[in-house]
């Protein structure tokens, strides 16, 4: 029976019999024995195995090169070395799978670009193993957070006929054969009409919130946007809670609680993985996470934010005036310089936001805002965007008209307001963005197992 290295290293007592299976990271030979540093991906740390010359299997030791799969049986004993508590004294070693000399992950640095080209081997590198363990723990923490709060997890559809944001930039899903152009009629397509990959599960989430009260989605979403930045991918995962009988304030409360929960979980249950990011990726990482964990969140209206930015004396690339959307430089000024804490900005100009957000009473100057909110954190800016939704059917219809959306296409969405409508609110968190914040990784391609970006869909 195999023991994971993670469990072996955590052992409270020595073990008379242990079996370790994994891959060789490095090997050092002396005349009478060999040291093998073994890793099985269950944690960042290796376990050191000492194999004396002559034990069963030792005849293959020269083939146990970096990347080779090996099984070691022996005893778990206290290590005389300072770097680890336990090591394995091998009674037998067995070569399971060789790694020839052209194995790409030899012990030397590799560029992120090169490692993206071998995304199928990349999780065997220490840094990427840590990234994907962190990704897993954070995803599990998302489910724990909502499960503890009695939210119902809803699988909203990936293939959809509607465009939540009304913004276009969607992938089409089809079984039509492009080599037979005469047959390219949507009536012949699989769903007998044009269909797309979803950009958000929000609208369907609202249908479930207005039945089950508190729900969340957590699934893949898609943008066919031809943008080549380090922060955009064509396929990414999003978390979208939605709460019935909830207003903007309740929404902001949940967004802040959720962000803190994920950051605290990252700090407290990282099982050693955080070290590698703090050492090699971002020296300020732990401080920034503690900052979000410990500091109370500030809340200000968009109008207050514009005033603060106007009075700041800073010269921004994008000048600020009431009515424009906030840019990353503005968001960072608010969190990093002015308030020095995470900030939630609410009540944005109606003109810059989608049709489904709730319209506020005009302010004293007659300006129209909606109950949008963005949660900003240092170093990255917006990490959550949300809103209280427009629950008044007449106002919603007017908004849809202003956005050129058809009442027929959204008839089912209007039904949610026609029958037992209620105030409700929710938000979306881009999972990869949160993961980038928690690891310090700078490129979204490096926190997705197999990233999809314009012109790139490998593996």
Residues 67-106 that bind a second copy (CB under 8 A): 67-69, 71, 96-100, 103-104
β-bridge pairing 381-388 and 369-377: antiparallel
What binding mask, one character per residue, do residues 301-320 give for a second copy by CB under 8 A, x or -?
--------------------
Q: Does 135 bind a second copy (CB under 8 A)?
A: yes
Give the residue, chosen from 29, 41, 89, 163, that forms a contact with a second copy under the rule CB under 8 A.
41
What binding mask, one character per residue, do residues 193-232 give for a second copy by CB under 8 A, x or -?
x-x-x------x--xx-xxxxx----xx-x-x-x------
- Structure-block tokens of residue 262: 């994920």
Applying CB under 8 A, the span of 44-52, 108-116, 179-187, 281-289 interacting with a second copy comes to: 179-187
Q: Does 124 bind a second copy (CB under 8 A)?
A: yes
Query: Which of 170, 334 has the CB closer to a second copy?
Result: 170
Nearest-angstrom CA–CA distance, 265 and 141: 7
CB contact at 8 A, 362 and 238:
no
Residues 263-282 that bind a second copy (CB under 8 A): none
CB contact at 8 A, 358 and 371:
yes
Of 276, 272, 274, the closest CA to residue 263 belongs to 274
Give the residue, chosen from 15, 77, 91, 158, that forms a contact with a second copy under the rule CB under 8 A.
158
Contacts (Cβ under 8 Å, ≥6 apart) of 75:
14, 15, 16, 17, 18, 88, 89, 91
Applying CB under 8 A, the span of 108-116, 188-196, 258-266, 333-341 interacting with a second copy comes to: 188-196
Query: Which of 376, 436 has the CB closer to a second copy?
Result: 436
Enter the DSSP assignment of 241: E
Counting every residue written for the chain, the total comes to: 459
Q: How far is the CB of 229 from a second copy (least distance, A)?
A: 16
Query: Which of 217, 360 has the CB closer to a second copy?
Result: 217
Nearest-angstrom CA–CA distance, 92 and 52: 9
Nearest-angstrom CA–CA distance, 48 and 39: 9
Query: Which of 80, 100 has the CB closer to a second copy?
Result: 100
CB contact at 8 A, 452 and 234:
yes
Q: How far is the CB of 333 from a second copy (least distance, A)?
A: 33
Give the residue, chosen from 9, 22, 306, 369, that forms a contact with a second copy under the rule CB under 8 A.
22
Size of the site for a second copy (CB under 8 A): 107
Give the residue, chosen from 80, 109, 181, 366, that forms a contact with a second copy under the rule CB under 8 A.
181
Cα-only R_g, the chain: 27
Give the residue, chosen from 28, 62, 190, 310, that forms a contact with a second copy under the rule CB under 8 A.
190
Q: Does 237 bind a second copy (CB under 8 A)?
A: yes
Give kind and range of the element (H or E) at residue 424: strand 424-430
∠ CA 27-33-35, nearest 5°, is 30
Query: Which of 77, 119 has the CB closer to a second copy?
Result: 119
CB contact at 8 A, 219 and 158:
yes
Residues 398-427 that bind a second copy (CB under 8 A): 412-413, 415-423
CA separation, residue 429 to residues 208, 293, 435, 455 (Å): 19, 17, 11, 26
Q: Does 161 bind a second copy (CB under 8 A)?
A: yes
Nearest-angstrom CA–CA distance, 153 and 218: 8
Q: How far is the CB of 103 from a second copy (least distance, A)?
A: 5
């Amino acid at each position: 029976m195999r023991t994971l290295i993670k469990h072996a290293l955590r052992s409270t007592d020595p073990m008379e019999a242990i079996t370790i299976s994994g891959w060789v990271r490095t090997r050092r030979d002396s005349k009478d024995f060999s040291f093998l540093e073994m890793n099985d991906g269950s944690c960042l740390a290796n376990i050191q195995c000492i194999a004396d010359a002559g034990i069963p299997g030792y005849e293959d030791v020269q083939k146990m090169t970096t990347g080779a799969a090996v099984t070691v049986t022996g005893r778990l004993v206290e290590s005389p070395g300072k770097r680890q508590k336990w090591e394995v004294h091998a009674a037998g070693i067995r070569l399971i799978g060789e790694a020839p000399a052209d194995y790409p992950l030899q012990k030397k640095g590799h560029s992120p670009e090169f490692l993206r080209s071998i995304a199928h081997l990349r999780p065997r590198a220490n840094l990427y193993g840590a990234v994907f363990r962190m990704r897993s723990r954070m995803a599990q923490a998302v489910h724990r957070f909502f499960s503890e709060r009695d939210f119902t997890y809803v699988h909203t559809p990936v293939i959809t006929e509607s465009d939540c944001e009304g913004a276009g930039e969607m992938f089409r899903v089809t079984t039509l054969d492009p080599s037979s152009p005469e047959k390219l009629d949507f009536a012949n397509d699989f769903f007998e009409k044009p269909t797309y990959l979803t950009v958000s599960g929000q609208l369907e989430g609202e249908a479930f919130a207005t039945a089950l009260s508190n729900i969340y989605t957590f699934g893949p979403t898609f943008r066919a946007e031809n943008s080549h930045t380090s922060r955009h991918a064509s396929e990414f995962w999003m978390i979208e809670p939605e709460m019935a009988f909830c207003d903007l304030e309740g929404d902001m409360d949940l967004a802040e609680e959720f962000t803190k929960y994920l950051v605290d979980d990252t700090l407290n249950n990282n099982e050693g993985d955080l070290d590698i990011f703090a050492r090699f990726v971002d020296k300020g990482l732990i401080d920034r996470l503690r900052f979000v964990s410990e500091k109370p969140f500030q809340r200000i209206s968009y109008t207050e934010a514009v005033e603060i930015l106007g009075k700041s004396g800073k010269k921004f690339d994008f000048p600020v005036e009431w009515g424009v959307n906030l840019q990353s430089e503005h968001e960072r000024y608010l969190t990093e310089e002015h308030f020095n804490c995470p900030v939630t900005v609410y009540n944005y100009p109606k003109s810059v936001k989608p049709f489904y957000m709730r319209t506020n009473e005009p302010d004293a100057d007659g300006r129209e805002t909606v109950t949008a909110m963005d949660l900003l954190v240092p170093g990255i800016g917006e990490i959550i965007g949300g809103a209280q939704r427009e629950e008044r059917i007449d106002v919603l219809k007017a908004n849809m008209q202003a956005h050129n959306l058809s009442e027929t296409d959204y008839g089912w969405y209007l039904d949610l307001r026609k029958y037992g409508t209620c105030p409700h609110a929710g938000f979306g968190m881009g999972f990869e963005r949160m993961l980038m914040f928690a690891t310090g990784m700078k490129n979204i391609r490096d926190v997705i197992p197999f990233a999809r970006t314009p012109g790139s869909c490998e593996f």
